[in-house]
Structure 1
Amino acid sequence: MKTLNKTIMSILFGLLLSTSFAAQNKPNIVMLYIDDWAWNGSPIPMNDSMENSFMPILEMPNLDKLAGQGMKFTHAYGAHQCAPARASLQTGQSGARTGFTLVSGKPNGKYYDTRPMYQNLPLIPNVSDASLDADAITIPEVLKPLGYTSAHLGKWHQYSDPGAEGYVLHDGDTNNDPGNTVGKVQRLPEDLTDPKLMFSTTEKAIGFMEDQVGAGNPFYLQVSYYAMHEGRECLAETRKKYARHPLVQAYYKKVGQPADNINRKKDPAVWLGMGENLDGRIGAVLDEIKKLGIEKNTYVIVVSDNGYRHEALELTPGKKQPLHGHKWWVWQGGIRVPMIVKGPGIKGGSVFEGNVINYDFMPTFYDWAGGDPKDLKDIDGVSLAGFMAGKKPDETFLNRNLYFHVPHYREEVPHSAIVSGSYKVMHFYERPDIPMLFDLSKDPGEVNNVAKQYPETHKRLFGEMMTYLQDVDARFPKANPDYDPEVYKKLKNYNKYIKWGPFEGKRPLEEDEL
């Protein structure tokens, strides 16, 4: 990563700023970061003209209120997976630049992943960084010289100490495990009071806000909820409410499972209940902000880390999945996310249709805090502050390049993508002979590969993507001399590798797609 030493950078940030900024005039920033939440997974339409861009069964009145008071982003992007998304959020850098491209724990080498499980596959994949670089500059580190105190509560999942990144209050190097509070039980206990730790995590967040307001400190608070990650949990009464819903009842009948005996991981009532319980915690945060008298000076962001594929959408007759793929892949279903922002100067009920991405948050927060985003070095994001205040985006912004890079085998195969305006190039390293280009304005489901119709557009964007990846020292897989097609075909994910891999012309729709 091309950054200066943390200490030197912090000093530079401090020198760039005038001490005349009064702390009480600086806005507070509250990031409510949701795990594994699809673009179409909320009751808020992410595209008003698409009936399958939201989930009407799910009741989230607080999120609905937030959308009415703030700005909805119709083309927000996260990453393909949680840990890479979180690293990009903290650093303002793409996964290719951070090198953090997979949830992997300890790396298996310095460049190539040479574990036995990959020895006969078509490519030798790469390792991912297993934590943030020692010299990475993070959100709390750029905000501290501006007078901010920062806290991170909930899921961290970056194999490092949040305290070392500038957070004065945090839950440690957490992964998914703490949020799975009931273990591997088939059905939820009736006395569950803190599903996915969302209640206790919210209480910590409220306490932090009270302390900072009492001390007169502007603050950055990131509440990284364990919901809506699998290992579904919700309050018993909320689950019962959704289990009585006629569409959920019809689902139980369809799968031949009674409501009182279905596995919670396959029970849409638990997933829906988890969403409604989460909305209650969002409401608790909003209520506390109002109670503390800081509502007019506090930004609140609700956004997901990565895309997903929620089968609960199919409960509504005639509705199908709008996007291809899911988490792990950089198809739209894996990287598009819901996003809503409320705060000073943001017009209620407004909509922003330009492409935005998780690595835009760090420069945006720095801008809100009184810094100049141009002073941030080696970042890929841009500040969205002006657009949230009503500035119209120009063509340069609307057609900027967003980058996604996954040089790994796991649930996915090695592949990369670039999104530029309404165009998207996908590249699969196993099949470099198949160029892939999509016009997302006409084809959000990525059904029609138009690379042959627009070869110059593909050539230009592919070249820009590869140049960028090389410039940031991204890792690339290489051909495997020990490739054995018969071994490859025996992998449990082989059929998905083929089905979700590259294609020419038009791909067939899956059963759950529209």
Structure 2
Amino acid sequence: MKNMLLMMAILLTGAVSGEEQRPPNIVFVMVDDLGLYDLNCYGYKAVDTPHANRLAEEGMLFRHAYAASTVCTPSRAGVISGQAPARLHLTNHISNQHFAPENPVLLNAPEVTALPTDVVTFAEVLRDHGYACGFFGKWHLSRQKTDGSNRVEDERTQPDHQGFENNAGGNGNGGPSGGWFSPYKNPYLPNGPEGEYLPERLENEAVVYMEANKDKPFLIAMWNYTVHSPLETTDALTEKYRARKAAGEKVGNPVYAGMVEAADAVLGRLLEKLDELGLQDNTFVILTSDNGGFNYGVADAPPLRKTKSWLYEGGLRIPMIVRWPGRVKPGTVSEAYVSHLDYFPTFMEVAGIPKDPDLILDGESLVPLLTGTGGIERDALYFHYPNYAWHAKNRLGGAVIEGDYKLLNWYDDDSVELYQLKKDPGEKNDIAAENPELAERLKRKFKKWLKDVNANMPVPNPDYVPPVE
């Protein structure tokens, strides 16, 4: 009897050890165009985001998280490659059009039109180390080409050729191909029942994938099309927030508020599935946005300046929440300056994958910061946006954040602006003239970085006509 009990104890110990050795799952939820202050847990109470709130209560909320770029495609490229968009030469949203203002001093910098196929993605690395990798939603990293009179995708640049074993809805479009309700007119997402809502369809696809791969580590990349334009959600959500606005709550745009809640519901369904499968304690969950918001206005305008397409804080700062049970202390808030470029090395360390010395990564793992065992070692964050966006007549430039200081360098006249972010998050008080030595040092530092990553720069407009004095 004693020997039998000893054998059972050994077998149980082995089973527990084996379970502990299984790499954590990774659930990566990225909401398109979600602004820093669009979530209830970031301070706006007009919209219901209970699942993001739960994530913040159970994990770490970041106050100074930054996108890799101020528009979607370069940000997504930075996320999935761990490389600065400037290094990739993928610096603008994919389009066959250019949106320069009338009589510009500069024209767009040369750019590639898709994530280069030779770039290593975090999905490829995770796949090669035994992860099932599923993609759901907006890709916006693939090349569209003309085939006769039709625009079709270059399949080599699609998610299922970049480390994922599936592609549920991803293509080169920046928004939903045919709208928010089935029929979707998306060749990478079969139509559902008429009127099916796209966020609900994508969450269903993801939970089916999780169920099918529950016995091995998995990556879920839920890259929502919400809350990108066109603004549309279910009648029930629209009416809910119209009623709140009519009652005097600071709702802003009721349709947009409904879209934010719909995106939160997607997160909730994924968390619910993890609970159902008993995987919540061995899953790393991250919620974020691809760039700054677009001022659709859930509530009063936040203090951040400008929106997506601009290098001011409104275009670059994003919400970011991480939950990792047993490793991240619940209910914590971080003021550290972190970036999209940190996700790749973070996922690798979470998965226990050694860093490949031949792999160029411009970010660093956040695991020490998340677990309270260390901090951020780099001394600066860099941004380069040398292209015009369709969303706004933006000014071409770049930025560097060192400590609490942010320097903007505008390319048309090489001028600079300098802000102290924690004192002035709205970037209202340019202190460059008061701090010329600091401004000049940061400017030199930024220009050195541009050379180090071999950044493409905007080109002079040969047809520019100077204004008459």
TM-score category (smaller protein): 0.7 to 0.9
In structure 2, the CA distance between the partners of 1:174 and 1:409, relative to structure 1 (3 Å rule), is: closer
How many equivalent pairs are there? 421
> How far apart, CA to CA, are the structure 2 residues paired with 1:22 and 1:147?
15
Partner of 1:202: 203
Alignment of structure 1 residues 199-348 onto 2, 5 Å: 199-213=200-214, 216-246=215-245, 268-314=253-299, 319-344=300-325, 345-348=327-330
Say yes or no: does 1:372 pair with 2:373: no
List gaps (5 residues or longer) in structure 1. Answer: 1-19, 46-53, 109-114, 184-190, 253-266, 488-514
In structure 2, the CA distance between the partners of 1:117 and 1:459, relative to structure 1 (3 Å rule), is: closer
Say yes or no: does 1:173 pair with 2:171: yes
Superimposed CA distance per residue, residues 8-48 of structure 1 (whole angstroms, 9 cap, x where no aligned partner): xxxxxxxxxxxx99896100000011000111111112xxx
CA drift at 1:427 = 0.8
In structure 2, the CA distance between the partners of 1:31 and 1:373, relative to structure 1 (3 Å rule), is: same
CA drift at 1:174 = 4.6
Partner of 1:357: 339
Q: Which secondary structure state, in structure 2, belongs to the residue aligned with residue 169 of structure 1?
A: coil
Say yes or no: does 1:386 pair with 2:368: yes
Return the letter of the residue paired with 1:74.
R
> How far apart, CA to CA, are the structure 1 residues paired with 2:178 and 2:312?
27
Q: Tell me if the contact between 2:176 and 2:225 (Cα under 8 Å) persists in the aligned partners.
A: no
Q: Tell me if the contact between 2:199 and 2:224 (Cα under 8 Å) persists in the aligned partners.
A: yes
Partner of 2:118: 135
CA drift at 1:277 = 2.0
Partner of 1:121: 104
CA drift at 1:84 = 0.8
In structure 2, the CA distance between the partners of 1:220 and 1:250, relative to structure 1 (3 Å rule), is: closer
CA drift at 1:119 = 8.8
Superimposed CA distance per residue, residues 257-316 of structure 1 (whole angstroms, 9 cap, x where no aligned partner): xxxxxxxxxx811111111222222111101001011111001111000001435344xx
State the percentage of identical aligned residues: 32
Q: Tell me if the contact between 2:135 and 2:164 (Cα under 8 Å) persists in the aligned partners.
A: yes
Say yes or no: does 1:401 pair with 2:380: yes
Q: Tell me if the contact between 1:26 and 1:218 (Cα under 8 Å) persists in the aligned partners.
A: yes
Return the letter of the residue paired with 2:29.
L
In structure 2, the CA distance between the partners of 1:405 and 1:116, relative to structure 1 (3 Å rule), is: closer
Partner of 1:105: 95
> How far apart, CA to CA, are the structure 1 residues paired with 2:195 and 2:404?
45
TM-score, L = length of structure 1: 0.77
In structure 2, the CA distance between the partners of 1:251 and 1:304, relative to structure 1 (3 Å rule), is: closer
Superimposed CA distance per residue, residues 230-257 of structure 1 (whole angstroms, 9 cap, x where no aligned partner): 21222211211111114566889xxxxx
> How far apart, CA to CA, are the structure 2 residues paired with 1:209 and 1:153?
12
Say yes or no: does 1:162 pair with 2:159: yes
CA drift at 1:406 = 1.0
CA drift at 1:380 = 0.5
In structure 2, the CA distance between the partners of 1:134 and 1:40, relative to structure 1 (3 Å rule), is: same
Indicate the RMSD between aligned Cα atoms, in angstroms.
2.6
Return the letter of the residue paired with 1:212.
N
Q: Which moved more, 1:478-487 or 1:91-100?
A: 478-487
> How far apart, CA to CA, are the structure 2 residues paired with 1:482 and 1:82?
30
> How far apart, CA to CA, are the structure 1 residues paired with 2:194 and 2:371?
42
Superimposed CA distance per residue, residues 212-237 of structure 1 (whole angstroms, 9 cap, x where no aligned partner): 11xx2211110011111121222211
Superimposed CA distance per residue, residues 194-216 of structure 1 (whole angstroms, 9 cap, x where no aligned partner): 43x10010011001111111xx2
> How far apart, CA to CA, are the structure 2 residues paired with 1:64 and 1:393?
25
Say yes or no: does 1:466 pair with 2:466: no
CA drift at 1:486 = 6.2
Q: 2:39 aligns with which of 38, 42, 54?
A: 42
Partner of 1:14: none
Q: Tell me if the contact between 2:31 and 2:225 (Cα under 8 Å) persists in the aligned partners.
A: yes
Return the letter of the residue paired with 1:84.
P
TM-score, L = length of structure 2: 0.84
